[in-house]
Structure 1
Amino acid sequence: MSDISFTSKTINHPKVQAAFKELKELSNLYLNNTEKQQLRKAVHYGAYAHESQTRKSGEPYISHPITVAAILASLKVDVDTLCAGVLHDTIEDTSVNYTDLKSEFGVVVADLVEGVTKLDKLKFRNLKEAQAETFVKMLFAMAEDIRVIIIKLADRLHNMRTIEFMSPSGQRRIAKETLDVYAPIAERIGLKTVQQEMETYAFKAMHPNQYAELEKRIQEVSGNRKKTIDKIQKKISKAFLQSGLVPEISAREKSIYSLYRKIKQKKSTFDEIDDLFGVRIVVKELNDCYTALGIVHNLYPPNEDGFKDYIAVPKLNGYQSLHTIVKGPYGLTLEVQIRTEEMDKMSEGGVAAHWLYKRQGSESDQRLNRARSWLNSLLNLQKDSVSSLEFYENLKSELGSDEIYVFTPKGDIVQLPMNSTVLDFAFAIHTSVGAHAKGASVNDKPVPLSHVISTGQTVKVISSDDLTVSSEWLSRVVTSKARTAIRKELKQIKDEDALVLGHRMLDRALDTFGYSFEKLDQRSIKRTLKTYQMNSMDDLLKSLAFGENIPSIVARNLLPLLKQKGIDKSYIPKEALVISGNEGSIVNYPNCCQPVPGDEIVGYLSPAKGVVLHQKDCPNVEELRKTAPERMVVTSWDVQTNGTFKTTLELDVINKTGVLAKLAGIIAENEVNIETIDQNEKDGDCTELTFVVEALNNQQVARLLNNLTSYPEVLTARRKTS
């Protein structure tokens, strides 16, 4: 297409002309004449390429990419990005290819268009997978050239503006993806105006009734409140004039989606929102921000919990401003934002603007470093995740949350999402700090690892030499970094446990056939690995512990071919599998019967859980023997077991004050740890108490039950069985 004249009838269509006029007005503010000519050429080229295409609204298709370019021009992007915005659909939807674009507009424009096209060409099995992979692809594209993402965000914004032309189901799907993927990315790279407009359209499409109700409530209160805010603006302006400062003062209104999200998060009502309306003060110099804060606080008393210094501690996207909530006249509570002109530009154009213009200066470099650091941390997390879907689901809630700022004992600032715990803090410091955490203090007071931390607190983590990771930790963290690291550590621990137990199981099975692990020859091992499609002996051993393969069958296959002949397939192992308590997460103790050392036990090889131990008389065992007898494992306790084992005690007691505390004391005196307590009122004055405890063996449990029964208010005390 390099020799075409770019003549197109659609260029004269009223909708196209209107879009082109807006693009020219915005781009003429900062492009030079050569750049204006280049952009004009891209518009005519795109119009010719999309000549026969129309949108669902019926207007010529070219109106869409021109409007996308106009959105980009409002962000003052460079001319290459503008041209790529106009041409972003040509490779995907027309006969134009990469070589054509490179020939006409250069390699940069061609690369940008190809980058956007790659994002659009992804195909998936379901919506969740599509969103997850789109998000990951966008992160990698952002790492290569952030302009690809800015074009994609502008494209999505215009699609949201015209979303009413889609089917209702299509509207909901696109709106949800916009709220989950595109708006959070726009927010993180600082494109706040793009983010808020996307959210507004998406919220309206997903929840039209709630949107209409909130819009109505805002209109009802806005008249009176705006008059009050006008008075406040004038009063602040007068105070600033007297102090010699001449700032730019404007009113601001909370976006409707931000309002909706705050009502949901805080579980509050519309009337309880204190920052629906506010005032923004833009000053010249950094020091003027704090001077302005003093002036505002002299006029109106501040809310002591409503001050946030995002200048000293910027948000992850580089946003800087002072936020203070003050009590104005007539009982009106409002938020005042104070920032410099540079910070104000940053809040509108964000990190994206600095990235695009490649401005020099330490302040710009710091913001870029923060953005790149955030991006790199996400890419590292993605590498450690099992799948894009897991990574995306872990990160989704974190992206849309507010932030807190806490301190290390050395005074370093750590930024975390709202509702983060001490464990989130530990993993934010370093994965090894989190994995070895055994205790913590907040402002020098001991707290559990699950303690939720708040802005301004100093957090200290106490480490252990041993790995202390537990699967329960997954419910005690909110950050994707912590969750991914915990899963990774748990998998590694489980793999190591499985390798040791699998070795023991195979040794036991080989011994039954009069053979041993040391006697295995390489030919037999290779043949068996091929049979089971395993890459290594370690993989085969782990598969035994995980219940994926049966030790007796694997052992027989590992024997030399001559020795396999005449072996009784219904063999009985010579020795039981001895359980010591050191097997880790690969041996499971089910809640149906909760076996503890001293109980007679039997094992079952579960394909999902590995070795599952049951009490011998557990009703579930009989069913397992019928359905899969080959998976039953003869087991016994080691003479010396390690650790504690969970069991449940059920007590019927007379309902009197202080009974629960006394019984808890008796349990503690017997050196038994209480995990949970449950209480259920029964008929009359009787209460059923259920204690889940951690005991060493069944002898300790028996002594404890005897001691509990001796207490006068205890009617019965028993260990729960299946």
Structure 2
Amino acid sequence: MDLPVIQRIGSAIRTQRVERSFGIDALTRLLGEYLPEEQVSEVRRAYVYGAQLHEGQRRTSGEPYIYHPLAVARILADMRLDHTTLIAAILHDVIEDTGVTKEEITRDFGADIAQLVDGVSKFRKAEGMTRAEIQAESFRKLLMAMTQDLRVILIKLADRLHNMRTLGVMESAKRRRIARETLEIYAPIAQRLGIHFIRTELEDLAFASLYPNRAVVFAAAIKEQIGDTKSIINDIESRLSKALRAEGIGATVVGRQKNLYSIYSKMRRKRLRLPAVMDLLGFRITVSKLDDCYRCLGIVHSVYRPVSELFNDYIANPKINGYQSLHTTCVGPRGRKIEVQIRTRDMHHIAESGIAAHWQYKLGGRTTSVAAPQVRAREWLSSLFEMQGGTAAIDFLENVKVDLFPDEVYVFTPKGEIRRLPRGATPVDFAYSVHTELGDHCVAARIDQHLEPLNSPISNGQTIEIITANHARPNATWLNFVKTAKARSCIRHYLKTQREDEAIRLGRRLLEKAMRELKLPMARLKNEQADEVLKLYGLDDVEDLYSSIGLGQRLAPLVARHFLPDATRISGTTATGDASPLAVEGTEGLILDYAKCCRPVPGDDIRGHISVGRGIVIHRMDCKQTHNRKISPQDWLSLVWADNVSGDYVAELRVQGSNRRGLLASIASEIAAAESSIENVHMAERVDTESADMRFVITVHDRTHLARVMRRIRRLSNVAKVTRV
């Protein structure tokens, strides 16, 4: 069976609208062109089943609800998809909007169709969930279903396309929300999966809904800029076709005006005005053989002068979605730039249909290299599946959004393997793209044999070698420069795990200290009484209990009291020993927080209080917060600095003096000479031009080091006063 001409498919999808006259008969007539009669009958049976379930339901527009699933099926039928996908499209809302279960669909239509319908259905709302959380969970459910069967996303995209075509009946706020979601998620997914014509229509429809006035003005401005589009396109098509025929190349030349949203995006991305966007017209040349592509390129360049820096060979280096084509920009009639794409017919079919090409060729009885988009889509989904583990749904959705906008660069491993990464990616992104362990332990990189920092942006054609160390671990500052969702997810997962480990260690120390004060043996943490305490708090094991204490979710003294004998616990008469303070070593990391109101350093008298989610917050004893009535006395914890405390700590100084040239430089020099670093400087607004009032946030080792810094600053002649904030 011959495959349909892509131009006809694209035109049908763009112009088809569901009217009251449109029904199952029109759909089955179309299906009869490429499906066996028994499969067409199954589609009709699914329609009868769906129509009965949706009986009485209407869309916002007022038409019977069944018209929507029929329209979705029609879009997929125009793409020549198999009958299983079409049946699932007709039934795609029955689980969500009717009382039918997945098991019932399995019984009546089979497990494959039930799986597709369930994959498209939204996440069922749980009590207390926000709209954003529901959307994120639904999206995660959809992507996880895609890993089982890619046809799930084809149904979802067709569903979204018809919803966008009929969006005009919605209220303004909802219309804008759906349009924004389409531009941020569904159009990029269509692009990532190589389904070009769905992407372009989704973008233009969403653009018109999100910025209606802007879209109208923009369309008029483009029309005025180009002038008589039809005559220009016909002229260029004619010249190129004639030149190709003269060289004996059988080719099809098709011209078009680029879609509105792509032009608008280019203007925003490159900060251009419309007159500066010259390539508003695009031309596609399709040929039979790969060799003809490069021959065509030379002929095009002989007819129109090429712009050398605007050439891309996506045949040798396919895009991340499997797209292949030669792209060149030339100077056309009247000095206008035109973009010309040259590809084989198979490449064109993949470029238009993407992953859908697999089923179209399968139905046509042909086996060619159309598996490329499928393979790349599955690689992408596999990476998403890997990064979603242990990630909150909203964070997962944000990671996917980042991953959906890859302006790509191609780099090489030391063994010559190609890696595709988003533009602006760094060696850390490269390391995580190879393997999570490589990313976790990287310390430096060689880019083209030169040592470079890990935050260096990488460029096309570079060879990247990652240098690792066993002791190295991910750094939170990496989140400021990594570009790929996988790298971001892996770093966050490590930091979260590290925080949990630190919370467990601190929680154990706090609970053991509390039990020593109650003269309770540590063995009670491992006997049957511990199981009762865990059951009381709804926890699985003792480590969960330690973690909850370390994170400040539970107070160690209150937890410890549950290990007392029943009578003692009830009467409250306990023979407590002397309360020994907890030693702060400075290595507790993420679950020890130093209060910014007083900025304690080693050597200060300190105390702390338990804060939910922050762990222990440490204050100086003379801090005003230590007298805060909102914090209960029992929430305060006695603390001391450990003998082996080390590291850098932040302190804040106020410096007042005479406003003289070079004062700031002099103070900075003295701070550096005292082996301290400046984190921040704030200049107070001047009351008069003669005085200066500055605040310095600096790092010191301890109170003695801080005093040495202050003495050096006081020695300056223009400094009147130095105080610690």
CA distance in 1, matches of 2:306, 2:140: 42
Aligned residue in 1 for 2:386 = 380
Aligned residue in 2 for 1:248 = 252
CA contact (8 A) 1:83 1:109 kept: no
CA distance in 2, matches of 1:318, 1:348: 11
Choose which of 366, 369, 373 in structure 2 pairs with 1:367. 373
Correspondence 1:699 to 2:708: no
Aligned residue in 2 for 1:85 = 89
CA contact (8 A) 1:91 1:113 kept: no
Choose which of 615, 621, 625 in structure 1 pairs with 2:620. 615
Alignment of 1:545-694 (within 5 A): 545-561=550-566, 574-623=579-628, 627-649=631-653, 667-676=671-680, 682=686, 684=689, 691-694=696-699
Going from structure 1 to structure 2, the CA distance change for 1:78 and 1:526 (only over 3 Å counts) comes to closer
CA contact (8 A) 2:93 2:121 kept: no
CA contact (8 A) 1:647 1:719 kept: no
CA distance in 1, matches of 2:682, 2:458: 28
Choose which of 504, 510, 514 in structure 1 pairs with 2:515. 510
Aligned residue in 2 for 1:8 = none
After superposing the two structures, state which structure 1 stretch, 389-398 or 614-623, moved more. Answer: 389-398
CA contact (8 A) 2:85 2:113 kept: no
CA distance in 1, matches of 2:287, 2:655: 69
Say which SS state the counterpart of residue 491 (structure 2) adopts. helix
- Amino acid in the other structure paired with 2:705: Q
Going from structure 1 to structure 2, the CA distance change for 1:491 and 1:68 (only over 3 Å counts) comes to closer
Choose which of 429, 434, 439 in structure 2 pairs with 1:434. 439
Going from structure 1 to structure 2, the CA distance change for 1:392 and 1:254 (only over 3 Å counts) comes to same
- Amino acid in the other structure paired with 1:130: I
Aligned residue in 2 for 1:217 = 221
After superposing the two structures, state which structure 1 stretch, 163-172 or 647-656, moved more. Answer: 647-656
TM-score, length basis structure 2: 0.84
Choose which of 154, 159, 165 in structure 1 pairs with 2:158. 154
CA distance in 1, matches of 2:622, 2:454: 38
Going from structure 1 to structure 2, the CA distance change for 1:282 and 1:571 (only over 3 Å counts) comes to farther
Correspondence 1:339 to 2:349: no
CA deviation after TM superposition for structure 1 residue 348, in Å: 1.1
CA distance in 1, matches of 2:273, 2:585: 56
RMSD, aligned α-carbons: 3.8
CA distance in 2, matches of 1:530, 1:336: 69
Going from structure 1 to structure 2, the CA distance change for 1:274 and 1:446 (only over 3 Å counts) comes to farther
- Amino acid in the other structure paired with 2:133: E
CA distance in 1, matches of 2:253, 2:491: 48
Going from structure 1 to structure 2, the CA distance change for 1:15 and 1:627 (only over 3 Å counts) comes to closer
Say which SS state the counterpart of residue 338 (structure 1) adopts. strand
CA contact (8 A) 1:69 1:85 kept: yes
Alignment of 1:102-501 (within 5 A): 107=110, 110-111=113-114, 114-115=117-118, 119-120=121-122, 122-123=124-125, 125-223=129-227, 228=232, 230-297=234-301, 300=304, 302-303=306-307, 305-355=309-359, 357-358=361-362, 363-385=369-391, 387-444=392-449, 446-501=451-506
- Amino acid in the other structure paired with 2:203: E
CA offsets, 1:644-695, max 9 Å, x none?
2233455568888887677656555544344455667755487766554433
CA distance in 2, matches of 1:519, 1:555: 10
After superposing the two structures, state which structure 1 stretch, 422-431 or 686-695, moved more. Answer: 686-695
Count of matched residue positions in the alignment of Structure 1 and Structure 2: 703
Correspondence 1:76 to 2:80: yes
Aligned residue in 1 for 2:546 = 541
CA contact (8 A) 2:428 2:482 kept: yes
CA deviation after TM superposition for structure 1 residue 119, in Å: 0.4
5+ residue gaps, structure 2: 1-17
CA distance in 2, matches of 1:102, 1:596: 66
CA deviation after TM superposition for structure 1 residue 599, in Å: 2.4
CA contact (8 A) 2:598 2:619 kept: yes
CA deviation after TM superposition for structure 1 residue 410, in Å: 3.6
CA deviation after TM superposition for structure 1 residue 587, in Å: 0.9
5+ residue gaps, structure 1: 1-13
CA contact (8 A) 1:80 1:108 kept: no
Say which SS state the counterpart of residue 319 (structure 1) adopts. coil
CA deviation after TM superposition for structure 1 residue 399, in Å: 1.9
CA distance in 1, matches of 2:533, 2:103: 53
CA distance in 2, matches of 1:550, 1:253: 67
- Amino acid in the other structure paired with 1:70: R
CA distance in 1, matches of 2:692, 2:338: 51
- Amino acid in the other structure paired with 1:620: Q
CA offsets, 1:315-374, max 9 Å, x none?
332222233344445443343322221111011111122156458767334432221121
- Amino acid in the other structure paired with 2:265: R
After superposing the two structures, state which structure 1 stretch, 552-561 or 51-60, moved more. Answer: 51-60
CA offsets, 1:494-528, max 9 Å, x none?
12112222222223223333445257561432333
CA deviation after TM superposition for structure 1 residue 237, in Å: 3.8
Going from structure 1 to structure 2, the CA distance change for 1:497 and 1:79 (only over 3 Å counts) comes to closer
Going from structure 1 to structure 2, the CA distance change for 1:519 and 1:57 (only over 3 Å counts) comes to closer
CA deviation after TM superposition for structure 1 residue 588, in Å: 1.0
After superposing the two structures, state which structure 1 stretch, 417-426 or 567-576, moved more. Answer: 567-576
TM-score, length basis structure 1: 0.85
- Amino acid in the other structure paired with 1:319: Y
CA contact (8 A) 1:653 1:686 kept: yes
CA contact (8 A) 1:147 1:356 kept: no
Say which SS state the counterpart of residue 227 (structure 2) adopts. helix
Say which SS state the counterpart of residue 468 (structure 1) adopts. coil
After superposing the two structures, state which structure 1 stretch, 463-472 or 662-671, moved more. Answer: 662-671
Going from structure 1 to structure 2, the CA distance change for 1:521 and 1:219 (only over 3 Å counts) comes to closer
CA offsets, 1:164-215, max 9 Å, x none?
2333344234333433443333333222212222222222222212222222
CA contact (8 A) 2:400 2:485 kept: yes
CA contact (8 A) 2:123 2:138 kept: no
Say which SS state the counterpart of residue 601 (structure 2) adopts. coil
Going from structure 1 to structure 2, the CA distance change for 1:657 and 1:234 (only over 3 Å counts) comes to farther
CA deviation after TM superposition for structure 1 residue 301, in Å: 5.3
CA distance in 2, matches of 1:604, 1:628: 9
CA distance in 2, matches of 1:598, 1:290: 74
CA distance in 1, matches of 2:661, 2:231: 59
- Amino acid in the other structure paired with 2:442: A
CA contact (8 A) 2:524 2:530 kept: no
Going from structure 1 to structure 2, the CA distance change for 1:216 and 1:512 (only over 3 Å counts) comes to same
After superposing the two structures, state which structure 1 stretch, 388-397 or 234-243, moved more. Answer: 234-243
CA contact (8 A) 1:355 1:368 kept: no
After superposing the two structures, state which structure 1 stretch, 681-690 or 638-647, moved more. Answer: 681-690
